């Protein structure tokens, strides 16, 4: 009987499913922080793009602190790790805000819904860089459990 071959994508998902689901909770909590700060700042009449940047900075800092507790370092110094996270998160911020801007200006979507969809769009890029570049995929404390 022929044996079915597992696709590389399925193998990758199986290998990293634990860290992915942990990051969903970590990232989800930080997304809630992001949205709450964003909503508060926009309610106080701050421009949405500036509010998006400030909310991002707050949630990025929270995310860094939590990820340092959950994932094992790849042997980098704390300052180097923080700079890498800021660079990756800046890419995610650009994706988040450009998606939000497009949805509001071109599709006339509600601002908060557009912000939520923008954050969701940036999630996979952010997770992938953190899992495979910043934090060691082989040494992750979560993956070993």
Question: pLDDT tens digit string along 100-118?
Answer: 999 999 999 999 999 999 9
Q: Whole-angstrom Cα distance, residue 112 to residue 109?
A: 9
Residue 58, helix vs strand vs coil: helix
Task: Give Cβ neighbours of residue 135 (< 8 Å, ≥ 6 apart).
Answer: 67, 71, 72, 73, 74
Whole-model pTM: value is 0.72
More confident residue, 23 or 40: 40
Which residue, 36, 78, 76, is CA-closest to 56?
Answer: 36
What is the sign of the dihedral through the CA atoms of 79, 94, 109 and 52? positive
Which residue, 117, 128, 135, 115, is CA-closest to 51?
Answer: 115
Residue 70 placed within a domain: yes
Which tokens go with 74?
A: 């790849």
Residue 7 placed within a domain: no
Please state, rounded to an integer, the average pLDDT across all residues of the chain: 82
Residue 5 placed within a domain: no
Residue 121 placed within a domain: yes
Domain assignment of residue 82, given as a range: 18-144
Residue 11 placed within a domain: no
Q: Each residue of 51-96: pLDDT tens digit?
A: 999 998 899 888 878 877 777 666 777 788 778 888 888 899 999 9
Q: Each residue of 13-35: pLDDT tens digit?
A: 677 777 778 878 888 899 999 99
Q: Considering its fold, how many domains does the chain have in total? A: 1
């Amino acid at each position: 009987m022929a044996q079915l071959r597992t696709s590389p994508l399925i193998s990758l998902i199986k290998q990293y499913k634990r860290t992915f689901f942990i990051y969903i909770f970590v990232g989800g909590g930080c997304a809630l922080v992001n949205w709450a700060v964003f909503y508060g700042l926009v309610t106080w009449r701050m421009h949405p793009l500036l509010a998006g940047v400030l909310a991002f900075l707050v949630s990025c800092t929270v995310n860094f602190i939590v990820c340092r507790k959950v994932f094992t370092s790849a042997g980098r110094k704390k300052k180097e790790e923080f700079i890498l996270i800021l660079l990756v998160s800046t890419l995610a911020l650009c994706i988040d805000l450009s998606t939000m801007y497009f949805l509001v200006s071109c599709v006339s979507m509600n601002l908060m819904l557009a912000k939520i969809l923008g954050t969701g769009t940036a999630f996979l890029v952010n997770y992938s860089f953190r899992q495979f570049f910043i934090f060691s995929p082989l040494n992750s404390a979560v993956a070993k459990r």
